[in-house]
């Protein structure tokens, strides 16, 4: 199998509020009419091999279809009350006539989401309808990454600094007689959100993958037991990653501060002028 990176066309289509209103009302605080909502369907992810040479298995997609119902749709994976604009009210796996890069029928996870059709949400609705908001990425937690060739777990081998399975297969490599190695994402334990991404940095629907705590603990134990890391070829890379991690923590804190300050200002304004 050739190592190709195929871009995924993320189709956002408006859905039928009239037909879906009963489903939508399962999640709304009060009974809504079809006129009050705007709903759309979106391809969230599929079972194809992505840029990271990872892919959701069919079983994983089925599980994600259950986990995503009721979850929110936000922008840029950014959590704040006013950004939680829509809610997924239905989610299903659809089989297509295309093939994925593993030679299997391509399956896609398609979600339907609704939002209130108001003056405030008009710009978002226009952006969806106009095809401006069309890139999405899913945030979920996956507990197992396995080898496509032998099924054993992938993890960082901290003595060789290679990411490999228990039988030392590495993703992206082809093994004579065995085939091409990629990573299967298995056992999803939670679905966090579907996010519109304003900057189309990722051609495919990206996944926020979190390393299991166990793996990180092991890695830190190994690192901390080394008397000197400076000579290691990957040390600079690690240092950069750690600096980046620290910066994003600062960034998060700054954002939180800005938000709470704005909130105070707005509340103050409302108290004063909007009685």
| Residue ranges binding Zn ion (CB under 5 A) | 147, 149-150, 165, 167, 169
The nearer residue to Zn ion, 108 or 145, going by C-beta atoms, is: 145
The nearer residue to Zn ion, 155 or 203, going by C-beta atoms, is: 155
> Shortest Cβ distance from residue 166 to Zn ion (Å)?
7
The nearer residue to Zn ion, 147 or 194, going by C-beta atoms, is: 147
The nearer residue to Zn ion, 109 or 183, going by C-beta atoms, is: 183
> Shortest Cβ distance from residue 149 to Zn ion (Å)?
4
> Shortest Cβ distance from residue 150 to Zn ion (Å)?
3
Select the residue whose beta carbon is closest to Zn ion and give its number: 147
Q: Could you write out the DSSP letters of every residue in 136-190? A: EEEEEEEEEEEETTT-PBEEEETTTTEEEETT---TT-EETTTEE--EEEEEEEE
Q: Could you write out the DSSP letters of every residue in 197-242? A: -SS---SSPPEE----HHHHHHHHHHHHH-S--TTSTTHHHHHHHH
Asked if 139 and 81 count as a contact pair (C-beta separation under 8 A), the reply is no
> Shortest Cβ distance from residue 165 to Zn ion (Å)?
3
The nearer residue to Zn ion, 12 or 181, going by C-beta atoms, is: 181
Q: Could you write out the DSSP letters of every residue in 87-136? A: EEEEEEEEEEEEE-TTSSEEEEEEEEEEEE-STTTHHHHHHHHTTSS--E
| Dihedral in degrees, nearest 10, Cα atoms 188, 58, 114, 25 | -80
CA distances from 266 to 21, 82, 129, 271, 273 (A): 34, 13, 31, 9, 10
> Shortest Cβ distance from residue 156 to Zn ion (Å)?
15
> Shortest Cβ distance from residue 53 to Zn ion (Å)?
13
Angle, alpha carbons 238-192-112 (nearest 5°):
135
> Shortest Cβ distance from residue 152 to Zn ion (Å)?
5
The nearer residue to Zn ion, 71 or 169, going by C-beta atoms, is: 169
The nearer residue to Zn ion, 117 or 153, going by C-beta atoms, is: 153
Q: Classify 185 as helix, strand or coil.
A: strand
Q: Which residue has the tokens 């600079």?
A: 236
- Distance, in Å, from the CA atom of 186 to the CA atom of 151, rounded to the nearest integer, reads 11
């Amino acid at each position: 199998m050739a190592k190709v990176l195929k871009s995924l066309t993320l189709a956002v289509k408006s859905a039928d509020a009239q037909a879906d209103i009963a489903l939508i009302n399962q999640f709304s605080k009060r009974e809504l009419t079809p006129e009050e909502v705007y709903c759309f369907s979106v391809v969230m992810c599929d079972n194809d091999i992505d840029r990271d040479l990872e892919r959701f298995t069919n079983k994983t997609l089925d599980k994600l279809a259950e986990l995503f119902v009721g979850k929110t749709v936000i922008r840029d994976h950014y959590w704040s009350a006013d950004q939680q604009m829509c809610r997924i009210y239905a989610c299903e796996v659809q089989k297509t006539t295309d093939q994925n890069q593993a030679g299997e029928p391509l399956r896609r996870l398609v979600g339907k989401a609704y939002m209130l059709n108001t003056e405030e949400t008009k710009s978002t609705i226009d952006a969806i309808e106009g095809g401006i908001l069309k890139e999405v990425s899913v945030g979920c937690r996956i507990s197992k990454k396995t080898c496509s060739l032998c099924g054993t777990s992938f993890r960082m081998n901290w003595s060789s600094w290679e990411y490999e399975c228990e039988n030392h297969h590495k993703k992206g490599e082809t093994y004579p007689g065995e085939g091409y190695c990629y990573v299967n994402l298995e056992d999803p334990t939670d679905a966090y959100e579907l996010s519109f991404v304003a900057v189309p940095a990722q051609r495919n629907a990206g996944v926020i993958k979190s390393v299991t705590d166990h793996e990180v603990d092991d890695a830190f134990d190994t690192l901390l037991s080394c008397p000197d890391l400076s000579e290691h070829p990957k040390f600079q890379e690690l240092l950069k990653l750690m600096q980046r991690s620290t910066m994003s923590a600062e960034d998060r804190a700054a954002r939180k501060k800005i938000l709470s300050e704005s909130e105070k200002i707005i509340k103050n304004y409302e108290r004063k002028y909007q009685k």
